[in-house]
Amino acid sequence: MSELICRRILLKLSGEALMGSQSFGIDPDVIRRVAEDVKGLVDSGIQVGLVIGGGNIFRGEGLAKAGIDRVSGDHMGMLATVMNALAMQNSLLKLGVAARTMSAISMEQVCETYVRRRAVEHLENGEVVLFAAGTGNPFFTTDSAASLRAIEIDADLMIKATKVDGIYSADPMKDPKAQFYPRISYDKALAEGLKVMDATAIVLCRDNQMPLRVMNINAPGALLRLVKGEEIGSLVES
């Protein structure tokens, strides 16, 4: 166990990461593969908190453009994150991994309501905790929810899993000259407006000294190699 560089992590996955090559919803193969990666972490003794976005189903901003008022749209977005969390919970349970969804919006017939102390107890018991419904408030994102939960549960590291290998000076899918940053400060990421996470989420990490690793979710086994000390993706720190 001594080779592990962290004991407790908070992993943030965007809803889009679960879509695979589809344009909406959840690709069962993708969710199973990510669940297998999470199982690898749990089997190594890592305590895992998960935040999954909802952008593969609904985003408040997009719904507002379609004429739904923003607060209702954000509520719909938060409910979408619960659907994703339940799908991931199901995949984890099928692999024999104890997993529990805790929602920031109470829905007691569906899952537990988030209570920080209970969440930490579940983590200490080796259960994966899926933090659903974002922060429970409109006008926030699940990136901010992930920063908040990472800080609340005293995670050693927050990991944002994306579709690219880490942080670049520009979108590497569009600009072949984009420069890769193996390490970057919170302030530089903010000042350059890099698409790491939204500013609220970065500031929360910065002000609470929560190290953030940005990495590609499509590389099977990379999460395990990361927690065993391999330099993977980009690190954001002071």
Closest to ligand UDP by CB, 2 vs 24, is 24
Separation of alpha carbons 87 and 26, rounded Å:
8
Using CB under 6 A as the binding rule, whether residue 142 contacts ligand UDP is answered as yes
Rounded to the nearest 10°, the torsion over CA 233, 86, 110, 130 is -20
> Does residue 17 contact residue 161 with C-beta atoms inside 8 Å?
yes
Site string for ligand UDP, 6-45 (x = CB under 6 A): --------xxx-----------------------------
Q: Which residue is listed with tokens 């609340």?
A: 152
The answer on whether 169 is annotated among ligand-binding residues is no
Binds ligand UDP (CB under 6 A): choice among 59, 122, 206, 213: 59
- DSSP state, residue 2: T
Binds ligand UDP (CB under 6 A): choice among 30, 42, 60, 91: 60
Separation of alpha carbons 113 and 130, rounded Å:
11
Binds ligand UDP (CB under 6 A): choice among 54, 89, 157, 235: 54
Q: Per DSSP, which regions of the chain are E strands?
A: 8-13, 47-52, 99-103, 112-113, 128-132, 157-162, 167-168, 180-181, 183-185, 212-216, 234-237
Closest to ligand UDP by CB, 28 vs 62, is 62
The answer on whether 58 is annotated among ligand-binding residues is no
CB of 101 to ligand UDP, least distance (A): 15
Q: Which residues contact 22 (CB under 8 A, 6 or more apart)?
A: none
Using CB under 6 A as the binding rule, whether residue 145 contacts ligand UDP is answered as yes
Binds ligand UDP (CB under 6 A): choice among 9, 34, 42, 74: 74
Binding residues, by number, are: 12-15, 54-55, 59, 74, 135-142, 162, 168, 171
